[in-house]
Amino acid sequence: MKPIKQMAAVALGLALGMMTNGTALADTFGKGYNNDFTIDFVNVRNAGNANDTGAGGGSFSLPYGGVAYDFRISTYEISQDAITKATASGMMHVTAGAWTGSQPAATMTWYEAAAFVNWLNTSRSRQPAYDMIYSGGWSMNLWSSEQAWQAGGVNLYRHKDAFYFLPSEDEWYKAAYHKNDGVTANYWDYATGSNTIPTAVTGGTVNGTAVFSGNSVHPSSPALVTNSGGLSAYGTMGQNGNVWEWNESAFTAPNDSSSENRVLHGGSWINTEFHLRSSDHLSGGSPTYEFDLIGFRVASVPEPSIAILMLIAGGAWLLRRRMSRLL
């Protein structure tokens, strides 16, 4: 291979590597300069990994976390600021307000979190994830089996063409606890990439920390979503502590009743270490339940960055031009 061809191969390989292995770029939503907001995502790969069966060397596990496909999940919990700006951009019938600014959106029902996700989709001309109905309050229909999500098994809550959605219990659990070491059943005990109990803090980004109540640390409120502890193996923040997070899944599988109790994971700033463990999950009650300890994050299908695709196309054009001159 001549040097210029080698350059082309290396450049294309690097660009594709950026597209497939790196942290996904933030997605932007909202209307107008003052109402724009972004959601940062990390890639959760190793498709086809097994459920957690306690093989990771820790003390705790639940039989979740096996996901048959790659996906993205938001780096941070959704903030109050995102709800405020989405509302100013046309979203209706979704309220939060327990906290402010970059603190997590809370006092939100599961239905309101699902309605926010639907707005993320429709604001970008995509298919709504959930068949939501508002008539003085939210309710939801199940999709037909033909319309429902099929990857990894039929999910009657989620539409097959949804781009943004609430993370299922398996998706959430994998992003929080899987060791990110290939198609394995290896999981950590805590969502800080460790089997060691996290250090309790009121805020910060130090590895191995989480915002919860432990030892002499007793936070009085959740931290900013971007300042809520160390990262999981996939790069998410705050899946341990800060606020509990709604999962898409019914507490008793499968997702075959629209009004069934939903799952909560992760613990909150007032909880002790027990609720941070991978072995702990709660029934959050009815999807109409709300509390200032409960927030959520969103997930999405993988999508190559438009900027990277343009870089690949532009780089390939320049390399072809140089090759035509030099060969």
Q: What is the pLDDT of residues 81-99, one digit of tens each?
A: 999 999 999 999 999 999 9
Instruction: Encode pLDDT of 170-213 as tens digits.
Output: 999 999 999 999 999 999 999 999 999 999 999 999 999 999 99
pLDDT over 90 percentage in the chain: 83
Looking at every residue in the chain, the average pLDDT score rounds to 89
Reported as a pLDDT band with limits 50, 70 and 90, residue 240 is very high
- Averaged pLDDT, 45-74: 97
251: left (phi over 0), alpha (psi -120 to 50) or beta: alpha
Own/partner long-range contacts of 117-121 (Cβ < 8 Å, ≥24 apart) = 117/164, 117/165, 117/166, 117/298, 119/86, 119/90, 119/91, 119/94, 120/29, 120/39, 120/86, 120/164, 120/298, 121/162, 121/163, 121/164
Q: Are 39 and 119 in contact (CB under 8 A)?
A: no
For residue 140, give Cα distances in angstroms to 2, 41, 153: 61, 27, 20
Beta-strand ranges (E) seen in 89-230 are 131-134, 138-141, 148-149, 155-159, 164-165, 199-201, 209-211
Q: pLDDT value at position 33?
A: 81
Instruction: Encode pLDDT of 141-177 as tens digits.
Output: 999 999 999 999 999 999 999 999 999 999 999 999 9
Close Cβ partners of 136 (under 8 Å, ≥ 6 residues apart): none
